[in-house]
Amino acid sequence: MLNRRNFIKASSSLLPLPLIAQGMSKDQVAPKRLVIVGNEYGMHPDSFFPKDFGKDFTLSHELSSFGWIKDRMTVFSHTDHGMEPGHGKEDAFLNGILKRDASNYADGNVSVDQLIGERFRSIVRFPTINIHNSNRGISESWTRNSIPIVPLSSAEALHRKLFVNQTLTEKKQQKVLWDRNRNLFKAISGQYKSALKGVAQEDRERLSQYRTAINDLGIEMDSQEAWLHKEKPNFKFNAGKTIKDKYNAIFDMTALALQTDQTRVASISFSGKLNVSELVERGYHSCTHNGKGLDLVSQLVTIEKFQLDQISRFMKKLDAIKEPNSNGTMLDNTIVMFGSGMGHAGTHINRNLPIALFGGGLDHKGHISLKRKNGENTPLCNLYLSLINKMGIERDYFNVSTGTVDI
């Protein structure tokens, strides 16, 4: 018989299990996809935000590489999560809720990428892929149970996940692990009602969260097992040594993963611990605390423009791939978002976040202001709710949303 303590212990030991392979889609129409690219230090406002508004806006210096896609992009001013200044709020970039407050919401602090990825569990090999290219950094992606998704920390790790097939021995070991976990799930589920007897409401809620997590893992395993013996695509891997080479490899592998329908949702982060010595003289974090010194500001802008230039290169690749069962390209069916949970690291301000959308067949409007008539900024979760709906998921709320944004 499992008591409450043993139930929680057994359940929580299962939660970190990694997502394994899932599968190729059999859809007959072009699938919708989402790629989110972010960083944890925000952007230098004067260099990122355009000075004018509307479809005929003038590209800022940092956005200059997007001239070729200007009619298929929207830059949003005056949207954020209403967070107070300071570090630690970046973790809420994709959900608008800090972990400490997650229990106050129906879906916890689930992030937008993970919520959308749930829709594709039984359709693609990986519901989401998350890449950080660093062993250190913030947690941007979260499950419904307030568990941070551990991102892949290198181009090499991404390659192994997406394109390296398991050996026969590894597949057998994986099957044994799944069977063992299913038996454990069954035992735990059988003791759930008994574990609830005589416990406080707070513990009941926690037990309910664990039960939900266990059910989710069972669904994951059922979906993944179908892909155990299906070969992964081939990719000629060469990560190189420079930061540019490594991100080229990351974005190229992400493009192929989308093209072969291994996943439809990806998040890529430019870590604050990124080694930028090939680009500038100072470290990334040091450049954010520049005291408005022209030399350090220039170095910071160089780092930020590098990030945006990588996104432009990635989207050109998607735009060059014809979409099967469609007259358009992959970019026409892939929403690419850039943003950050911090507005500007130089002042630690978390308002007026740098947010831009590209492609995806959206009704793009150039540069728009989301400042409300009462002077307040629009919640970023309103935009996320619109993205969720565009991805084919019907919902009327997402975390702290108060409505939607016309996209």
State pLDDT tens for residues 86-113. 778 889 999 999 999 998 998 999 999 9
Rounded percentage of the chain residues whose pLDDT exceeds 90? 59
CATH 3.20.20 fits 31-165+235-390, yes or no: no
Return the percentage of the chain with pLDDT > 70, whole number. 84
Type of residue numbered 371: K
Q: At 9, is the pLDDT very low, low, confident or very high (cuts 50, 70, 90)? A: very low
Residue with tokens 């709020």: 89
Taking Cα atoms as reference points, which of 96, 108, 95 lies closest to residue 146? Answer: 108
- Check residue 227 and give its pLDDT: 77
Q: Please determine, for residue 351, whether its predicted confidence score (pLDDT) is greater than 70.
A: yes
Domain positions in the chain are 1-21+169-230, 31-165+235-390
Measuring CA to CA, which residue among 186, 183, 194 is closest to residue 1? 194
Q: Is the pLDDT of residue 198 over 60?
A: yes
What local confidence, expressed as pLDDT, does residue 23 receive?
A: 37
Residue 6 has pLDDT above 80, yes or no: no
Rounded to whole angstroms, how far apart are CA atoms 264 and 318?
A: 13
The Cα-based distances of 312 to 67, 158, 266, 291 in angstroms read 10, 21, 16, 30
> Angle at which helices 243-259 and 155-163 pack, to 10 degrees?
20
Window from 9-23, 218-232, 390-404 with minimum mean pLDDT: 9-23
pTM: 0.84
Cβ 334 vs Cβ 391: under 8 Å: no
Indicate if the pLDDT at residue 17 is higher than 60: no
Q: Examine the pLDDT at 172 and tell me if it is beyond 60.
A: yes
Sheet holding 334-340, edge to edge: 129-131, 265-270, 33-39, 334-340, 355-359, 73-77, 366-369
Alpha helices in 235-379 (DSSP H): 243-259, 284-288, 294-319
Angle 234-240-244 from CA coordinates, rounded to 5°: 105
Distance of CA 152 to the CA centre of its chain: 12
**Which CB contacts under 8 angstroms, 24+ apart, belong to 321-325?**
321/255, 321/259, 323/30, 324/30, 325/28, 325/29, 325/30
Which range (12-21, 259-268, 294-303) has the least confidence? Answer: 12-21
Q: Which residues contact 25 (CB under 8 A, 6 or more apart)?
A: 31, 123, 124, 261
Q: Give the mean model confidence (pLDDT) for residues 363-373.
A: 96
Q: What is the pLDDT of residue 271?
A: 87
When the pLDDT of each residue in the chain is averaged and rounded to a whole number, the result is: 86
Query: Looking at the DSSP assignment, which residues form a beta bridge with residue 336?
Result: 35, 358
Per-residue pLDDT, averaged over 285-310, amounts to 89
Q: CA torsion 350→381→361→373, rounded to 10°?
A: -80
